[in-house]
Amino acid sequence: MSAGFSNIMDSNSYSGGPDADPLIEARSRVLGPAYRLFYDNPVHLVRGQGTKLYDAEGREYLDAYNNVASVGHCHPHVIDAVTRQMSTLNTHTRYLHETIVEYSQRLLASMPDEVDQVMYACTGSEANDLALRVAAKYTGATGVIVTEEAYHGNTEAVYAISPSMGAEALGPHVRAVSPRLERAEIAAAIADLQQGGFGVSALVVDTIFSSDGIHPDPSILAPAVAAVRAAGGVLIADEVQPGFGRTGDGMWGFTRHGVVPDLVTMGKPMANGMPVSAMAARSDVLAGFATVVPYFNTFGGNPVSMAAAAAVLDVIEGEGLISNAATVGGALSAEVARLAADHPRIGQVRGAGLYLGVEVLDDAGLPDRAGAKGIVNAMRERRVLISVCGGDGNVLKIRPPLVFSMADVDRFVAEFGGVLASFGV
């Protein structure tokens, strides 16, 4: 891989071409080189509805990738709630307002009893940044353990705990372990942090291990958490990806692992596209920070954000989206696994709910980055949107809005089967 290559940013990114669209050229002129576009043939979207997206020429795409518009693109209940609140009042948390209190009560009711307070921000990065500060205050330590392809965001502090951004990202106080969280690795990371004088502040994990390639095994996290706690650290469960029902067996990914986190961070699907994020906490863990550091986030927790977030909870509950994730996700997984059985170059099909990872292998059974990219681009040409993840860039990432239907599964499977046949994989 070239210097500066990042799996999460570059595994499925457009790399330019002689006949670039004028919009691409204009975009790169004003945004500069840090931004990436998906696909060899980038998609210019202008409209969305449910699980469907439409490009500037009016072509329809099946969205099997986007987890932000989790209750479906342009859901009318969310639009209505946002429009009504936006037309009434939008201020901030220095004034009293019911929405933030009522929403917090609902959100915390979905958490274990121990997790009883919540603070708001606008992005997952900010929520994780805040969680690191809280953990450091509580533990008196700064050492952090993450998984080797983790992505936790883009502030300076969370970039430093995001090895997927490249080797230069990692801070001296961070140790990366495999997503198998093997006991010996965790023990070595703890010992190393202690010897380095950092101590152990937190284990930070995305509880579905998204950028590590999607690893749903529910037996590995609890022993790692026990070891970290014995060394004085806390568990920060990053629910930005698995949270809000995606894994099909409850609201939160950590529940599958049988652990109660000290801090829980969330964002992306929380308000269906409005920039809303949060950090929930055990109040005893939060107290040391919150009693000495006043907190204000201009946009975090404002009435419009809270209205949008509450509307998302309404839809998750009212449309039974957690059980939909389980049922439709189960059907999708079974159908993809059935296709995979006929294709030696498709390896493991794994996941939970509506979050699926599908390994693409070469003839020797090794990870095939180019093959995975080829499949993703071929699916895009058939107007089905997916992407890739994993340290080797060879795991197809299938993560549709939670309103994915059985008819969507049929369309997905028909196109996926066609792509596998045409690839000879």
Ligand X SMILES: Cc1ncc(COP(=O)(O)O)c(C=O)c1O
User: Rounded to the nearest whole angstrom, what is the least distance from the CB of residue 425 to ligand X in the complex?
Assistant: 28
Of 117-125, 349-357, 366-374, 398-406, the window that binds ligand X (rule: CB under 6 A) is 117-125
Of 152-160, 196-204, 385-393, 407-415, the window that binds ligand X (rule: CB under 6 A) is 152-160
Between helix 221-230 and helix 183-195 the angle, nearest 10°, is 20
Choose between 162 and 394: whose C-beta lies nearer to ligand X: 162
Choose between 151 and 289: whose C-beta lies nearer to ligand X: 151
Cα(395)–Cα(340) distance, rounded to whole angstroms? 13
User: Rounded to the nearest whole angstrom, what is the least distance from the CB of residue 415 to ligand X in the complex?
Assistant: 26
Of 118-126, 221-229, 315-323, 407-415, the window that binds ligand X (rule: CB under 6 A) is 118-126
Choose between 203 and 231: whose C-beta lies nearer to ligand X: 203
Residue 2's CB: how many other CB atoms inside 10 A? 5
Q: Judged by CB under 6 A, does residue 151 bind ligand X? A: yes
Q: Judged by CB under 6 A, does residue 207 bind ligand X? A: no
Choose between 199 and 275: whose C-beta lies nearer to ligand X: 275
Which position among 42, 153, 213, 357 is part of the footprint of ligand X (CB under 6 A)? 153
Q: For the segment 255-274, give every residue that binds ligand X (CB under 6 A).
A: 267
Q: Judged by CB under 6 A, does residue 367 bind ligand X? A: no
Report which residue's Cβ sits closest to ligand X: 124
Choose between 131 and 349: whose C-beta lies nearer to ligand X: 131
Choose between 210 and 333: whose C-beta lies nearer to ligand X: 210
Choose between 206 and 368: whose C-beta lies nearer to ligand X: 206
Which position among 73, 137, 152, 246 is part of the footprint of ligand X (CB under 6 A)? 152
Q: Residues with Cβ < 8 Å from 349, sequence gap 6 or more?
A: 333, 336, 337, 340, 356, 357, 358, 359
Give which of 425, 319, 313 is closest to 372, Cα–Cα: 425
**Burial class, 246, CB count within 10 angstroms (exposed 0-12 / middle 13-18 / buried 19+):** buried
Residue 198's CB: how many other CB atoms inside 10 A? 18
Of 81-89, 150-158, 229-237, 399-407, the window that binds ligand X (rule: CB under 6 A) is 150-158
Q: What are the CA-CA distances from residue 136 to residues 129, 173, 196, 275, 350 (Å)?
A: 11, 12, 16, 26, 35
Choose between 129 and 368: whose C-beta lies nearer to ligand X: 129
The contact mask relative to ligand X for 332-351 (x = CB under 6 A, - = no) is: --------------------
Q: For the segment 120-139, give every residue that binds ligand X (CB under 6 A).
A: 123-125, 128
User: Rounded to the nearest whole angstrom, what is the least distance from the CB of residue 414 to ligand X in the complex?
Assistant: 29
Q: Kindly determine how many residues on this chain lie close enough to bind ligand X according to the rule CB under 6 A.
A: 14
Q: For the segment 224-243, give every residue that binds ligand X (CB under 6 A).
A: 238, 240-241
Choose between 200 and 240: whose C-beta lies nearer to ligand X: 240
Between helix 303-318 and helix 321-341 the angle, nearest 10°, is 60
Amino acid at 58: G
**Burial class, 156, CB count within 10 angstroms (exposed 0-12 / middle 13-18 / buried 19+):** exposed
User: Rounded to the nearest whole angstrom, what is the least distance from the CB of residue 210 to ligand X in the complex?
Assistant: 6
Which position among 129, 206, 249, 408 is part of the footprint of ligand X (CB under 6 A)? 206
User: Rounded to the nearest whole angstrom, what is the least distance from the CB of residue 73 to ligand X in the complex?
Assistant: 18
| Site residues for ligand X per CB under 6 A | 123-125, 128, 151-154, 206, 210, 238, 240-241, 267
